[in-house]
A and B are shown apart, each in its own frame.
Chain A
Amino acid sequence: MRPLVLLLTVVLMISSTRAQAEVLHELRPLGREQSVLRIYGAADFPVIKPFFDAFRERYPGVRIRYSEFGTRNLYQRFLERYPDTPDLMLSSAMDLQVKLVNDGYAQPYRSPETAALPAWANWRDEIFGFTYEPAVIAINRQRMPGDQLPRNRAELLDLIRRHSDKLRGRIGTFDIAQVGVGYLTWSYDSRQSASYGRMLESFGSHQARLFPSSAAMLQALTDGEITVAYNLLGSYSHAWAKRHPEIQVVLPSDYTTLVMRTAFIPDNAANPTDAKRLLDFLLSREGQQLLADRSSLYPIREDITGETTASALRRDRRSPLRHIPLGPSLLIQTDQASRRALLEQWRRAMPNLDLP
């Protein structure tokens, strides 16, 4: 991590339950303070910090207050605190972000940078996709020596069946009740995948462990607590795998779900000017290249070079990419009845859940 001279980290434990933490990171202005930019985000702070630093160099008078939440928590806090809103909302839980925009909590913004986005990454000029996230499988290779690693969901199920005892309690995935992006990918699976039922049954019968974040899952993989992790965010996994060669990242070859990290400016934003500047910088060529190079995120613009880019993903023909489009069809994911039904199935299948 970079020196913490300019960085003041305040950790606030807002809620006592797991994964409910709100962590406030404050970045002092580089020059004389002129304004404060409040951001709610789901991205891990160390990942997004290089981008904020570059922004501060451009606008030295801005103090950034970045509140980091879990994706679902982010959504709930936003609604609880409304009409007190941040100036910018960044999250990978597209469905929850779209739900907020659909319900009228966003303000429109048009600029050359937003106009340059592909149509499917811009809904109503109110919410903008800025990076991709493939949902991937990660496996600790050391724990499965000599085995052909699974390339898709069917092979993953086959692996679990063959090593049933070895993998019991060693499969990890998101706690979909708590993690928005986990719910999004899981519910998308439930509608897309032919193997969804068997997957659920298999995860349940092997006492899958549930995690609040990709980082926690990757740490558990490295620590040997789990052997297989399902539906993690690709950017974190690739970055982690570079440093921990025992971790193998798999883009499922039956299909790979692509979610987008999205940003919107709330209608009640106190400082929309800086929010728009940051959004423009986020979508600019320079900002996107920065996200690719320094944060290992997959930028949405096609003209960015590097390993973690959409074009690089697309070149990898083995995995058909299915990106979830921005728009009203994401409302199904947030529908109360559908959510109740999906969580009901989930809870029934996961016997080790300590149900309330």
Chain B
Amino acid sequence: MARLVGVSIRRQLLWMAAGLLLALALSSYWAAQAYGERAARLSYDRLLTGAALQIAENIQIRNGEVVIDLPRSAFETLALAPQDRVFYAIVETNGQFITGYPDLPIQGLAWGRGADLNNPGVTLPVFYDEQYSGEPVRFLTLTRQLPETDEVREVQVQLGQTTRARQLLAEEISWRALQLLALFFVVAMVLILGGIWLVLRPLHRLNRGLEARSPQDLSPLQVEVPREIQPLLTTINRFMQQLGGTLDGLKRFTAEAAHQIRTPLAGLKSQAQNALVEEDEVRRREQLQRVVQSSDLLSDTVSQLLSQATLAHRFQSQALEPLTLDKLITDVCRDVAVSALHQGVEVAYLGQVLVPLNGDDFALRQMLRNLLENAIKYSETGDTVEVDLQRVERGARLTVADQGPGIPDSEKSQVFERFYRSPDNPRPGSGLGLAIAREIAVHHRALLSLKDNQPRGLVVEVLFVEVGSVLQGEA
């Protein structure tokens, strides 16, 4: 693709058109020249023939001697090529020279041609080109038969003319052709230039439209473009829309994060101030205990925010890699099992299938950890959090089920919003865990949904739509 850098479509079109036109013009010029030469040859050959016939008709036999009275009209015919020299010879075929130029070149072919039906007693003329007297000369030979009482005598008329007029005519014809061709070439080039400008104009318009807008303006471009350029415009608009969405999300997130951090910090500060002025040792201890709890919560919130930022960055830059989902799940379960046991909660993994998958290892671990920590947080001592992985048609289903209070249906859709906290929820939390999990699921084209557990509790289900085939069979 590097080859195309700096290549101009306009110039390419121009070169192609010019090349094509030039080839066309050259071949037509060549044809015109050939035609000009042929036309000039034909017309001046006719004059030469006419003159030779007039001369031949004026040959007579008088007292046994060949007599020629050169007709003026013959030479006036030849003078239609006014700048050309004329050579002639009249010879009896027995070799007797009668008049004219004795040393004209003769072609062997000149003898014995068929009779000219229009001119009885005269053979058809034979034409040939020879150099004579320092110039190219067009020659003609014909033979006239003169019947006498006892024999037929033959007289050969040879007539030559220099080729200046022919060349002039041929040049004029081809010059005219050249002029026409040049005009055609120029007009065609102008039309093509205009055509190219017209065709490329939508691209310029598109470019101007993009250039003219401010960096903040990400609304769709409203430019009229032809069908061929419409996909490009659509792509640009879609890209801008995505960019706009991303930017909006970022703005909202930043605003919310600032708010979410400022509020606990203010609470923390007032609790610490209260503790400072508290005289009673027991109550001060309680207050300081609350400061520690608030700090934990804040630290939790900050780490969630950071992890979300990390994830957003990963999603943009990191490609999905092959991994095995079941292995990943057991790892994460093992990680959280210990801290869960401190709360008296047991984590059980029930899955028995191998699920290879293209995914982001870090992100999927984060998602699972969020789901598990959530489930553990809302469990009572002695409860069990059950994690299961099953194959469904073409996909796999991951479920995390607890026996906690569950989420009422009215709030199920809201808990995925960032920083949403149920008003009745007494437990501390950042309100980010489920939102992040959902983002990760979406990134893996998986469907995350909430269901009720029986008899109570919550089931989080992640439905991976397409996973790889099982390589090693069921475990």
Query: Which A residues are in CB contact (< 8 Å) with B82?
Result: 119, 123, 327
Judge whether B75 and A337 touch: CB under 8 Å: no
Q: With contacts A328-B84, A329-B78, A335-B100 known, what are 18 further pairs, Cβ within 8 A? A: A102-B86, A102-B87, A104-B135, A327-B79, A327-B82, A328-B75, A328-B78, A328-B86, A329-B72, A331-B86, A332-B70, A332-B72, A337-B67, A337-B68, A337-B70, A337-B99, A338-B70, A341-B69
Take A103-B133, A104-B135, A336-B99 as given contacts and tell me if A328 and B85 are in contact as well, using a CB distance cutoff of 8 Å.
yes
Q: Is the interface of A mostly helix, strand, loop or mixed?
A: helix
Give the total of A residues in contact with B, Cβ under 8 Å: 19
A2 at interface, CB cutoff 8 A:
no
B273 at interface, CB cutoff 8 A:
no
User: Residue on A with the closest CB to B164?
Assistant: A124
B224 at interface, CB cutoff 8 A:
no
- Mask of B72-109 contacts with A, CB within 8 angstroms, 1/0: 10011011001111111010000000111000000000
A-B contact pairs, 29 of them (CB 8 A): A102-B87, A103-B133, A123-B82, A123-B83, A124-B83, A124-B164, A327-B79, A328-B75, A328-B78, A328-B84, A328-B85, A329-B72, A329-B79, A331-B75, A331-B86, A331-B88, A332-B70, A332-B72, A335-B70, A335-B99, A335-B100, A336-B99, A336-B100, A337-B67, A337-B68, A337-B70, A337-B90, A337-B99, A341-B69
A162 at interface, CB cutoff 8 A:
no
Judge whether A328 and B79 touch: CB under 8 Å: yes
Query: How many angstroms between the C-alpha atoms of A335 and B89 in the bound complex?
Result: 10
Query: Which B residues are in CB contact (< 8 Å) with A123?
Result: 82-83
Query: Which A residues are in CB contact (< 8 Å) with B215?
Result: none
Query: How many angstroms between the C-alpha atoms of A341 and B67 in the bound complex?
Result: 9
Take A104-B85, A328-B86, A329-B79 as given contacts and tell me if A191 and B135 are in contact as well, using a CB distance cutoff of 8 Å.
no
Interface residues of A (CB under 8 A from B): 101-104, 119, 123-124, 191, 325, 327-329, 331-332, 335-338, 341
B226 at interface, CB cutoff 8 A:
no
B131 CB to nearest chain A CB (Å)? 12
User: Residue on A with the closest CB to B81?
Assistant: A328
B165 CB to nearest chain A CB (Å)? 11
B134 at interface, CB cutoff 8 A:
yes
B461 CB to nearest chain A CB (Å)? 106
Query: How many angstroms between the C-alpha atoms of A336 and B90 in the bound complex?
Result: 11
Query: How many angstroms between the C-alpha atoms of A104 and B100 in the bound complex?
Result: 15
Query: Which A residues are in CB contact (< 8 Å) with B100?
Result: 335-336
Chain B contact residues (Cβ within 8 angstroms of A): what range? Answer: 20 to 34
Query: Which B residues are in CB contact (< 8 Å) with A341?
Result: 67, 69
Judge whether B134 and A338 touch: CB under 8 Å: no
Query: Which A residues are in CB contact (< 8 Å) with B135?
Result: 104
Judge whether B69 and A338 touch: CB under 8 Å: yes
Judge whether B72 and A102 touch: CB under 8 Å: no
A266 CB to nearest chain B CB (Å)? 14
Query: Which A residues are in CB contact (< 8 Å) with B68?
Result: 337-338
Within 8 A of A (CB), among B40-84: 67-70, 72, 75-76, 78-79, 82-84
Query: Which B residues are in CB contact (< 8 Å) with A327?
Result: 79, 82
- Name which of A104, A191, A327, A332 has the most chain B CB atoms within 10 A of its CB: A327
User: Residue on A with the closest CB to B86?
Assistant: A328
Take A102-B85, A102-B86, A338-B69 as given contacts and tell me if A329 and B99 are in contact as well, using a CB distance cutoff of 8 Å.
no
Judge whether A332 and B134 touch: CB under 8 Å: no
Query: How many angstroms between the C-alpha atoms of A327 and B68 in the bound complex?
Result: 21
Query: How many angstroms between the C-alpha atoms of A191 and B74 in the bound complex?
Result: 14
Query: How many angstroms between the C-alpha atoms of A329 and B74 in the bound complex?
Result: 8
Query: Which A residues are in CB contact (< 8 Å) with B86?
Result: 102, 328, 331
Query: Which A residues are in CB contact (< 8 Å) with B98?
Result: 337
Query: Which A residues are in CB contact (< 8 Å) with B87?
Result: 102
Query: Which B residues are in CB contact (< 8 Å) with A332?
Result: 70, 72, 75
Judge whether A104 and B67 touch: CB under 8 Å: no
User: Residue on A with the closest CB to B132?
Assistant: A104
B40 CB to nearest chain A CB (Å)? 18
Query: How many angstroms between the C-alpha atoms of A336 and B78 in the bound complex?
Result: 19
Query: Which B residues are in CB contact (< 8 Å) with A119?
Result: 82
Query: Which B residues are in CB contact (< 8 Å) with A325?
Result: 79
Q: Which of A104, A124, A335 contacts B133 (CB 8 A)?
A: A104
User: Residue on A with the closest CB to B97?
Assistant: A336
Query: Which A residues are in CB contact (< 8 Å) with B84?
Result: 328
Judge whether B72 and A191 touch: CB under 8 Å: yes
- Name which of B75, B76, B84, B98 has the most chain A CB atoms within 10 A of its CB: B75
Query: Which A residues are in CB contact (< 8 Å) with B85?
Result: 101-104, 124, 328
Take A104-B133, A337-B99 as given contacts and tell me if A329 and B75 are in contact as well, using a CB distance cutoff of 8 Å.
yes
User: Residue on A with the closest CB to B71?
Assistant: A332
Query: Which A residues are in CB contact (< 8 Å) with B83?
Result: 123-124
A44 CB to nearest chain B CB (Å)? 31
B140 CB to nearest chain A CB (Å)? 15
User: Residue on B with the closest CB to A267?
Assistant: B134
Query: Which A residues are in CB contact (< 8 Å) with B67?
Result: 337, 341
B251 CB to nearest chain A CB (Å)? 89
Judge whether B69 and A104 touch: CB under 8 Å: no
